Amino acid sequence: MYRDKLTDATHLALVRGPISPDTETLVRVHEPLSVIDLLDIDDATHSWSVAQAQRAIAAAGRGVIVLLHRPESADELRRRALDEGPPAATKMDLRNYGIGAQILRDLNVGRMRLLAKPRKMPSMAGFDLEVTGYVETPPARAAG
């Protein structure tokens, strides 16, 4: 658990296996953290669900999922739970990149392959993090 001293938000990190800065690590930084994100449902809000990221990291034997907290109103939660259209657009807060990066460095991550679609983001070099690539889409889940 990590506490953001500025906002008093709590962020979570799920870690599997040994993490070394010289070894490529699968990483998923997930925001917003909502009860909906923790249910294994098809949610088009994200390219990877938490459950899909957990399965990929389990198969790889090592990885990190950082769950960043973002306040969610009752209306936002209802819209997501009832699939009432896309969530309201929110402006990306670049500070969240810094929070996620600090958590990853604290966990000993260095080289990372992101479970995400490629996107333009601030440089991670200042945090001594290197993005080695992306896994854009989760593998199809077997029926049963």
Q: Which residues are catalytic?
A: 93, 95
What secondary structure does DSSP assign to 78-141, as a single string? Answer: HHHHTT-SSPPP----THHHHHHHHHHHHTT--EEEESS-------SGGGT-EEEEE--SPPPP
Handedness of CA 92, 95, 97, 103 (dihedral sign): negative
Task: State both tokens at 59.
Answer: 């198969």
Q: Please give the Cα distance from 101 to 94 (Å, whole number).
A: 11
Helix H or strand E segment including 64: strand 63-69
